[in-house]
């Protein structure tokens, strides 16, 4: 019976640990990412998407590496159709 109780406590402890990690992420990094995304979107809106695209295209043409274009401008895949 003690083994069953220990197994049940371990099982519940697993979910408590997962809950603690989730709460720490919600309190820590998620608000930071939301603020960062908002700042980047505001910066792109102020400068203008066309100018940002030109900088990215220039950088990609200088480096001859198309992957770098999408590392610098990941939003571009979703805004252009």
What are the tokens at 22? 């989730």
Does pTM surpass 0.85?
no
pLDDT tens string 3-54: 899 999 999 999 999 999 999 888 888 888 889 889 888 888 898 888 877 8
Is the model's pLDDT at 81 over the cut of 60? no
Query: Distance between CA atoms of 37 and 43, rounded to whole angstroms?
Result: 10
Break the chain into its structural domains and give their ranges.
1-47, 48-81
What are the tokens at 16? 């408590």
Query: Distance between CA atoms of 69 and 37, rounded to whole angstroms?
Result: 18
């Amino acid at each position: 019976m003690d083994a069953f109780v220990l197994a049940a406590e371990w099982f519940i402890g697993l979910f408590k640990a997962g809950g603690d990690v989730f709460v720490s992420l919600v309190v820590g990094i998620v608000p930071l990412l939301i603020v960062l995304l908002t700042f980047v979107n505001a910066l792109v809106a102020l400068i203008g998407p066309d100018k940002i695209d030109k900088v990215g295209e220039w950088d990609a043409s200088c480096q001859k590496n198309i992957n770098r274009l999408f590392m610098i401008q990941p939003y571009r895949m979703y805004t252009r159709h």
